[in-house]
C-alpha cells in the first residue's frame, strides 16, 4: 500500500474513528478530567502535577487545544471528538524526534499499557529504528510490578499477568524497568516511546519521552503543555481492529525517514 498523504491519513483516521467522532463518551472524558483535577494520582499517569491543575475547566481547555475535544463546558454527555489534524500534527512532531534518534543511533525504550491496540504500532517503530542503527533497550529479566511480570514482546515492554498482556495505566512497571536498568549498571535510554503511565513515569524522571494518549487521558497532554513530555499524539488508543493503525504507522515512519 502507498504511504498515505496527509489528507488521505486524515480521512482514514476519521473513517476508522481513530480521530474525529471517537468512541469515548463525553461523560467519561469529563469524569477523568475532574478526577485529575481532584488529585487522583491514578489519572496523573506517573506525572507530578502538584496543585497546578486543580480546576477542571483548565484541564478541559488544554484538552480542547491539544486533543480537539469539545471546548463547551456545558456539553456533558453524548459524543466527543479528537481533531484528526492534531493527530497528524502530533505524528509529525514525533517523526522529527524519531529522525533525531536514528541520526544519533540512540538507545530507545518502547513500552505500552495498551497491548490490544498499540503493540504493533510500537513494534513496527522499534523495528524501523533498529534497522536504522538504533539500540532497542533490552529490559532486565525477572521484573515484577503490580502483581504481574514486566517483560518484552517484540522489543516492547508490557505487563503480563496469568499469561495475559494487561491494559494498564500504572507508572509502576516503567519505574521497575528504569530502576532495574540503573541497578544493573545498564545504559539508560536516550528516548522513550510509550503511552499511559509508562510514558508519564519516564518523562517525570527526565527522559526524552514521546507517546500516544486518548481523549480521556489528559495527564500526558498536560505533560506536553508543561514541557515534561516532548510529544503527545492524540488518538483513540483502542479501536476495534488494530490493523486500522497501520496507515498511521506508515505515515509516521515515512515522515521520520525510516523504513516502512
Interval 97-155: pLDDT, tens:
999 999 999 999 999 999 999 999 999 999 999 999 999 999 999 999 999 999 999 99
Residue-wise pLDDT for 194-203, tens only, equals 999 999 999 9
Q: What is the DSSP code string of 84-145?
A: HHHHHHHHHHHHHHHHHHHHHT-EEEEE-S-HHHHHHHHHHHHHHHHHTTPEEPPPPTTEEE
Residue 250: predicted pLDDT: 98
Residue 84: predicted pLDDT: 98
CATH 3.40.50.150 for domain 1-259, yes or no, is no
User: What are the beta bridge partners of residue 80?
Assistant: 22
Which run of H or E residues covers position 21? Answer: strand 20-22
Residue-wise pLDDT for 175-231, tens only, equals 999 999 999 999 999 999 999 999 999 999 999 999 999 999 999 999 999 999 999
Q: Could you say which DSSP state residue 164 is in?
A: E
pTM summary value: 0.97
Neighbours of 206 (CB within 10 A): 9
Residue-wise pLDDT for 79-111, tens only, equals 999 999 999 999 999 999 999 999 999 999 999
| Phi, psi for 70 (deg, rounded to 5) | -60, 130
Mean pLDDT over the full length of the chain: 97
Residue 68: predicted pLDDT: 98
Would you say residue 170 has pLDDT above 90? yes
Nearest-5° angle of CA 60, CA 63, CA 67? 155
Looking at the chain, the whole-number percentage of residues with pLDDT higher than 70 is: 100
Q: What share of the chain is helix, strand, coil (3-state, %, to 5)?
A: 45, 15, 35
CA-based nearest residue to 156, from 189, 126, 186: 126
Residue 1: predicted pLDDT: 72
Of the pLDDT bands very low, low, confident and very high (cuts 50, 70, 90), residue 50 is: very high
Amino acid at each position: 500500500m502507498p504511504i498515505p498523504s496527509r489528507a488521505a491519513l486524515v480521512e482514514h483516521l476519521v473513517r476508522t474513528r481513530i480521530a474525529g467522532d471517537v468512541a469515548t463518551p463525553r461523560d467519561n472524558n469529563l469524569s477523568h478530567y475532574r478526577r485529575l483535577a481532584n488529585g487522583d494520582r491514578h489519572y496523573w499517569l506517573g506525572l507530578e502535577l502538584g496543585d497546578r491543575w486543580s480546576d477542571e475547566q483548565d484541564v478541559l481547555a488544554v484538552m480542547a487545544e491539544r486533543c480537539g475535544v469539545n471546548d463547551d463546558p456545558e456539553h456533558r454527555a453524548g459524543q466527543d471528538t479528537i481533531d484528526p489534524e492534531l493527530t497528524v500534527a502530533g505524528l509529525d512532531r514525533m517523526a522529527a524526534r524519531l529522525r533525531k534518534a536514528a541520526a544519533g543511533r540512540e538507545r530507545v525504550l518502547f513500552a505500552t499499557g495498551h497491548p490490544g491496540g498499540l503493540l504493533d504500532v510500537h513494534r513496527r517503530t522499534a523495528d524501523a529504528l533498529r534497522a536504522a542503527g538504533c539500540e532497542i533497550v533490552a529490559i532486565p529479566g525477572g521484573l515484577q510490578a503490580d502483581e504481574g511480570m514486566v517483560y518484552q514482546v517484540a522489543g516492547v515492554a508490557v505487563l503480563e499477568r496469568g499469561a495475559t498482556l494487561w491494559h494498564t495505566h500504572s507508572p509502576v512497571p516503567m519505574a521497575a524497568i528504569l530502576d532495574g536498568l540503573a541497578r544493573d549498571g545498564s545504559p539508560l535510554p536516550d528516548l522513550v516511546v510509550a503511552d499511559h503511565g509508562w510514558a508519564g513515569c519516564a518523562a517525570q524522571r527526565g527522559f526524552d519521552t514521546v507517546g500516544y494518549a486518548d481523549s480521556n487521558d489528559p495527564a500526558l497532554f498536560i505533560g506536553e503543555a508543561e514541557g515534561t513530555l516532548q510529544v503527545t499524539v492524540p488518538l483513540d488508543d483502542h479501536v476495534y481492529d488494530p490493523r486500522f493503525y497501520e496507515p498511521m504507522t506508515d505515515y509516521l515512519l515515512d515522515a521520520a525517514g525510516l523504513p516502512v
